[in-house]
Chain A
Amino acid sequence: MLFNSLTFLVFAGLFFLLWPLCRRKSNLRWFYLTAASFLFYGWWDWRFLFLIVGSGLLDYAASLGMVAYPRARGAFMALSLFGNIGSLAIFKYSGFIAENLDQLFSMAGLHTSLQANIPGFMLILPVGISFYTFQSMSYTLDVYRGELKPTRNILHFMAYLSLFPQLVAGPIVRARDFLPQLCSPGTTDERGRWEGMQLIAHGFFKKMVIADNLGPVVDSAFGFPVFSESTVYWWFIITAFAFQIYCDFSGYSDIARGLAKWMGYRFEVNFNHPYNATSLSGFWSRWHISLSTWFRDYVYIPLGGSRVSRMRSHVNMWITMLVSGLWHGASWTFVVWGALHAGFMSLERVIKWPQWCRRIPRVGSWMATGIVIVQVWVAWVFFRADSLSQAVRIVRQMFDFNLDMSFRKAGLLTAAIYLAIGMLREVYCRFREVRELRSRPWLDIPVMVGMILACIFLRGPGEAFIYFQF
């Protein structure tokens, strides 16, 4: 079920109608949350409910096993990791692994056809598998480390794992933060409802008005068989994609956070004006924060983090970024995307360019932001491209300084308008945060009404959220 669908509107309407009746009775609340979430997920394809239930049961049982048999903690942890990574390997990476094995064997003179023989069901990517698998893994890892006491109630665990606002595209919430919240009836006041409303409206606006109107131009540029040689064209397209993916993904997170607020719960901020960062490490502390912190806590720090030799610390960061790239998709383009970020961050650590920039009066922070944007944009090319060769060609064109303006202009003006709206919205929101402007109902309510009407009458043609495929 997509947030931006009539089906979800009906679903959410019914859910919030019954929520006040169900939230006060503990068992009823857990059951209601789990049942509604399963309905939400199963609407897409009910058969994949077995996967989320199976994955959840494994982690639920493994966590209880760790407490009951402390000596076998390692074995239970290994079992959980094997199950979770195994399901990811089957449903997300089997095609990629088979394709590369075929190529490897072919280089050795052996002709195999592993890819062609993969069963059909393994090629269907269950929506949100990477999100709920990581959420489930964080639960067992926290229990394993002794940072979380496992719940004995299966409904508690399933409600945490499958809660519908964040089930398919995050934010990835931690059990130690969220399970205690779910134990309360989740009450809201006027302020909470209004903040939730603002998050939901901004989320829908970002997704439906900005991202969905930028999408067709980006798709057309990457899919068009005749390659444009213009540097101006490609910088525009990649800027459009940067805002498309930001608005698409952060829009989903905002909607999820707003829905949680309406339920009386709180998800942490997942995006914090990432394109305003003045260093790449700053970018990663503002972009997809729940995933970045997941990788920090469960990959980077266990590898030794920064408390090892300088060289080893770089290696740890590279491993983390490469795994993060692969998490996004089973393709070498995503691996290169992760490698580029790792490379840029290594460079940043070695030459410390953000510090040099900050010393320049007045324009220093602008320069730093500009450098971050160039790096992030170049990496986005690999993230979006259909192949490595296409990405390399586009990047080469971006730095070719070919100022030819005779490219296809169809749809570019529309995209430019929505890009400008997206940028202005971002600047306005940042301005309000920095100045800590107080709420003014005479201004805020009309703005809210305008945003709701814009979502209806200015929505773009797109439908699905980009991050559903991850």
Chain B
Amino acid sequence: MKPAEQKIDRTTVALLAAALLLVPSAYVNRQLFDDLESPLSENAFLIRKVHAPAAYDMVLGGNSRMMQGMSPVVMNEKLPGRPILNLGMRGASLTPRMYGLIESKLAPGATTPVVLLGIEPGTLQPSTDASLVVELHRSGEKVFLAQHDVTERIARLFASIRPFKVTNKISLWLNGPTKGQPEYHREYHPDGWSATYWEPEDLERDLKPYRAKAGECCDPGEREPLPFKPLLFEQVRKWASEGILVFGVRIPTAPEVRQYEDQRFDFDEAAISQAFEQAGGIWIAVDPEGYHCYDGGHLHKSSAMAFSRNVADAVRTELERRSGN
């Protein structure tokens, strides 16, 4: 008599069962764990921006505050017909890697190429540029899948589920939407903007550490140095000499965050804006009043749109001044 396991071909049965379960699993994955409101998956969003072609008149560089704070599509309301890309990346600094990437996205034939940099303590201190490095080293296969709408849609069905999404979902089921975990909304747009906000917000919780540390820091002589400052001015000088119009802006944050960063780091906005302009750049001074950050450090979707309009206005004014209109 044959042993029991030889009566059925276990490999075929397992593979068939997995194939059959794949479709309902993908459907459940999409319904439960995907950000349905987002035009792109996070994966495709990051790959598309990092592997975008050299086809833009204006490129925005910086970290997550830039990524979440400025919408190129909204900027186009004030700057029509000008292709704009937001290259802001989570945890990124203004490193030679970031500068090189920005340069590589500018269209060779652009009449007035423009670069807009998000400048703040976070972008002027060393970082691993981890997410940028990861995206730069994606395999050709992953880049291909992310860059085409059809393959992106299919790949999105099979997106990996992060554990925190599962715990959030369970908490939502158990406690309901009001008492459950707050939900983090993220929209990944093809222009490189990620619109984000918490629902409900808990600004008190997010600002607590900043308030607690506000008194700790620091005498001017003890502030943490920002080693990438000289590199910034050197790069602005280089770009300006090549005919690239370079704007700098400090993206608004909550007053507590701003105060904490000013005290802790060697970041004197007046001195930096002055040095920036001396290097050939144009500093866009922003009044942070009136903008809302959902977690203290990142602009809420609606504020990001308003901020994008205002910055685009300032850029347009400068472009018009230069062209003599």
Residues of A within 8 A of B (CB): 2, 5-7, 190-191, 193-194, 196-197, 216, 219-220, 223-225, 413-414, 417, 439, 441, 444-446, 448-449, 452-453, 456-461, 463
Of the candidates B17, B126, B139, B158, the one whose C-beta lies within 8 Å of that of A2 is B139
Number of interface residues of B (CB under 8 A): 34
Interface string of B10-48 (1 = CB under 8 A from A): 110111011001100100010000000000000000000
Question: Which residues of chain B are within 8 angstroms of A461 by Cβ–Cβ distance?
Answer: 134, 160
The 4 tightest CB contacts between A and B, nearest first, are A223-B128, A452-B18, A448-B14, A193-B11
Q: Name 5 A/B residue pairs within 8 A (Cβ), A-sorted.
A: A194-B11, A216-B130, A220-B130, A225-B128, A461-B134
For the complex, what is the distance from the CA of A190 to the CA of B128, rounded to whole Å? 49
Question: Which residues of chain A are within 8 angstroms of B216 by Cβ–Cβ distance?
Answer: none
B11 touches A219 (CB 8 A): no
A225 touches B126 (CB 8 A): yes
Residues of B within 8 A of A (CB): 4-6, 8-11, 13-15, 17-18, 21-22, 25, 29, 125-128, 130, 134, 137-139, 141-142, 145, 158, 160-164
Question: Which residues of chain A are within 8 angstroms of B134 by Cβ–Cβ distance?
Answer: 461
Of the candidates A6, A225, A445, A458, the one whose C-beta lies within 8 Å of that of B13 is A445
- The residue on B at minimum CB distance from A195 is B11
A463 touches B139 (CB 8 A): yes
- The residue on A at minimum CB distance from B137 is A463
A7 touches B11 (CB 8 A): no
- The residue on A at minimum CB distance from B134 is A461
Given A197-B10, A445-B10, verify A414-B163 contact (CB < 8 Å).
yes
For the complex, what is the distance from the CA of A439 to the CA of B29, rounded to whole Å? 31
Of the candidates A2, A223, A414, A445, the one whose C-beta lies within 8 Å of that of B14 is A445
For the complex, what is the distance from the CA of A5 to the CA of B155, rounded to whole Å? 13
Question: Which residues of chain A are within 8 angstroms of B11 by Cβ–Cβ distance?
Answer: 190, 193-194, 196-197
The distance from the CB of B152 to the nearest CB of chain A, in whole angstroms, is: 14
B160 touches A460 (CB 8 A): yes
B25 touches A457 (CB 8 A): yes
For the complex, what is the distance from the CA of A453 to the CA of B18, rounded to whole Å? 7
Of the candidates A197, A224, A463, the one whose C-beta lies within 8 Å of that of B142 is A463
A224 touches B8 (CB 8 A): no
For the complex, what is the distance from the CA of A448 to the CA of B9, rounded to whole Å? 13
B163 touches A413 (CB 8 A): yes
The distance from the CB of A410 to the nearest CB of chain B, in whole angstroms, is: 10
The distance from the CB of B34 to the nearest CB of chain A, in whole angstroms, is: 12
A191 touches B6 (CB 8 A): yes
Q: Contacts A223-B128, A452-B14 given; 15 further ones with Cβ under 8 A?
A: A2-B139, A5-B139, A6-B141, A190-B11, A193-B10, A193-B11, A197-B10, A197-B11, A220-B128, A225-B127, A225-B128, A414-B162, A448-B14, A448-B18, A449-B14
For the complex, what is the distance from the CA of A453 to the CA of B20, rounded to whole Å? 11
- The residue on B at minimum CB distance from A192 is B11
Question: Which residues of chain B are within 8 angstroms of A193 by Cβ–Cβ distance?
Answer: 9-11
Question: Which residues of chain B are within 8 angstroms of A444 by Cβ–Cβ distance?
Answer: 10
For the complex, what is the distance from the CA of A111 to the CA of B134, rounded to whole Å? 37
- The residue on B at minimum CB distance from A462 is B134
- The residue on B at minimum CB distance from A461 is B134
B22 touches A456 (CB 8 A): yes
Question: Which residues of chain B are within 8 angstroms of A457 by Cβ–Cβ distance?
Answer: 25, 29, 158, 160-161
A441 touches B4 (CB 8 A): yes
Question: Which residues of chain A are within 8 angstroms of B161 by Cβ–Cβ distance?
Answer: 457-458
The distance from the CB of A61 to the nearest CB of chain B, in whole angstroms, is: 36
Of the candidates A194, A413, A439, A459, the one whose C-beta lies within 8 Å of that of B160 is A459
Question: Which residues of chain B are within 8 angstroms of A456 by Cβ–Cβ distance?
Answer: 22, 25, 158
B128 touches A224 (CB 8 A): yes
Of the candidates B5, B6, B8, B21, the one whose C-beta lies within 8 Å of that of A453 is B21
For the complex, what is the distance from the CA of A444 to the CA of B17, rounded to whole Å? 12
For the complex, what is the distance from the CA of A317 to the CA of B226, rounded to whole Å? 48
B29 touches A190 (CB 8 A): no
Question: Which residues of chain B are within 8 angstroms of A194 by Cβ–Cβ distance?
Answer: 5, 10-11
The distance from the CB of B236 to the nearest CB of chain A, in whole angstroms, is: 24
For the complex, what is the distance from the CA of A219 to the CA of B134, rounded to whole Å? 11
B6 touches A190 (CB 8 A): yes
B8 touches A441 (CB 8 A): yes
For the complex, what is the distance from the CA of A441 to the CA of B10, rounded to whole Å? 7
Given A197-B11, A197-B14, verify A458-B128 contact (CB < 8 Å).
no
- The residue on B at minimum CB distance from A2 is B139
B9 touches A414 (CB 8 A): no
A190 touches B9 (CB 8 A): yes
The distance from the CB of B50 to the nearest CB of chain A, in whole angstroms, is: 14
Question: Which residues of chain B are within 8 angstroms of A452 by Cβ–Cβ distance?
Answer: 14-15, 18
The distance from the CB of B26 to the nearest CB of chain A, in whole angstroms, is: 8
The distance from the CB of B136 to the nearest CB of chain A, in whole angstroms, is: 12
For the complex, what is the distance from the CA of A7 to the CA of B141, rounded to whole Å? 8
- The residue on B at minimum CB distance from A219 is B130
Question: Which residues of chain A are within 8 angstroms of B141 by Cβ–Cβ distance?
Answer: 5-7
Question: Which residues of chain B are within 8 angstroms of A216 by Cβ–Cβ distance?
Answer: 130
- The residue on A at minimum CB distance from B12 is A193
Question: Which residues of chain A are within 8 angstroms of B139 by Cβ–Cβ distance?
Answer: 2, 5, 463
For the complex, what is the distance from the CA of A85 to the CA of B213, rounded to whole Å? 58
B5 touches A449 (CB 8 A): no
Question: Which residues of chain B are within 8 angstroms of A448 by Cβ–Cβ distance?
Answer: 10, 14, 18
For the complex, what is the distance from the CA of A191 to the CA of B8, rounded to whole Å? 10
- The residue on A at minimum CB distance from B4 is A441
Question: Which residues of chain A are within 8 angstroms of B15 by Cβ–Cβ distance?
Answer: 197, 452
Given A223-B130, A445-B17, verify A417-B163 contact (CB < 8 Å).
yes
